[in-house]
Amino acid sequence: MTLSLDFNTLNDIPKPNLPYVEGFEFSVLEFFPHEPQNKTFILSPDEALQRQNTDVLRRCLAKKPLSRRLGSRALHLKIKKAIRVGDGKTSQIFLVDVVSGQGFSTPLVAKLYDPLYYDHSLDDVDPFLYVDLEYTRETAAYRHLHSRGEKHVPEYYGSYTMDISHCDGQFRSVRLILLQYIAENSMDTLQPQDFSQPLRKAIMEQIVNVESRPYENNLWHRDTSPRNIVIQRLDSDSSNLHVTFIDFGHASLGRSPNPKNNDEESRFFPGIYISPILRWYKTRGREPVCDFEEWIDWDWNGWLFEIYDSDRKMINTDMIRRWVPPSVHQEVASKVG
């Protein structure tokens, strides 16, 4: 993190005001991005030099987002309400109404990947590569999930591109996706003590199942935490809850650090069911389960073995070695039997 200079306003040249305010109207065209690439988003020496000598807007105008193919759908949208909008964010999220174009039930959630309003004071990240990577990951994840009929994610209404004009006549393209609006709060805004232990167990079982099911089909969410989970009450019965996963910007279509490397990916048993007993086994600081500690006041590991008891016969030594920390290999193996 740079401390001596604020590269969000280099040489006292401020960014343009955020256009994403209530009432703002804009047109979008359907856009099909490329598949996500396993690229680093570390700032290159050339980009570091530009960062030190060129203001943010000029860098954005010179850096076109990765191209691909336009579709036929055109929409005109109007911002209804901000959800998460501001400078220094990876994406801008707000509700929109569809003013014209093919019919959707509105409002929808629009998620824009605008590098201009990324946090440019970070001195080790290329913001243009980073937002492209998040955009392509998220579009690929939603296509993958909906092609398999996943019901615990928002409806996905496609990916789009829009042009934003600036006062000197130049414009830049910004990518976005449209999603179903779920009118509930994320799990991190809820108080665990407001839910009985049986209800919290039911919620956690849903979360584990929803995270594990795409993983069996080689999609790894990689950011499973309360802030990315929405809990809906389906009716007046408070025990009838539905868990929805959001934010797939970190998701990976594969299980290894480099899914494009077949040899590396094969070591993670692609396409084979891996029991939550292994992937959710609790040890100190282990993700993702450590992010839900406020919701868990029971013997988590014992509960895993109880809920997924039928998985024991499918667990082998190689799986234990791959998915369980070395410090508990023997412990888990003895419990599996």
Binding residues for ATP: 111
DSSP per position, 72-98: EEEEEEEEEEEEE--TT-S-EEEEEEE
Count how many Cα atoms sit within 13 Å of the Cα of residue 63 in the half-sphere of its side chain: 21
- Other residues' Cβ atoms within 10 Å of the Cβ of residue 282: 17
d(CA 200, CA 191): 11
Amino acid at 184: E
d(CA 42, CA 130): 9
* Numbered residues of the known binding site: 111
C-alpha distances in Å from residue 8, one per residue of 51, 59, 121 = 10, 11, 6
Q: Please report the beta strands in the chain, taking only residues with DSSP state E, as ranges in sequence order.
A: 25-32, 69-84, 92-101, 108-113, 156-165, 171-180, 219-220, 229-233, 241-245, 252-253
Cβ neighbourhood burial of 12 (10 Å; 0-12, 13-18, 19+): exposed
Which one-letter DSSP state was computed for residue 129? H
Q: Are 23 and 79 in contact (CB under 8 A)?
A: yes
Residue with tokens 């996905």, as numbered in its chain = 156
Count how many Cα atoms sit within 13 Å of the Cα of residue 77 in the half-sphere of its side chain: 33
**Beta pairing partners, 31:** 70
> Three-state DSSP class for 70?
strand
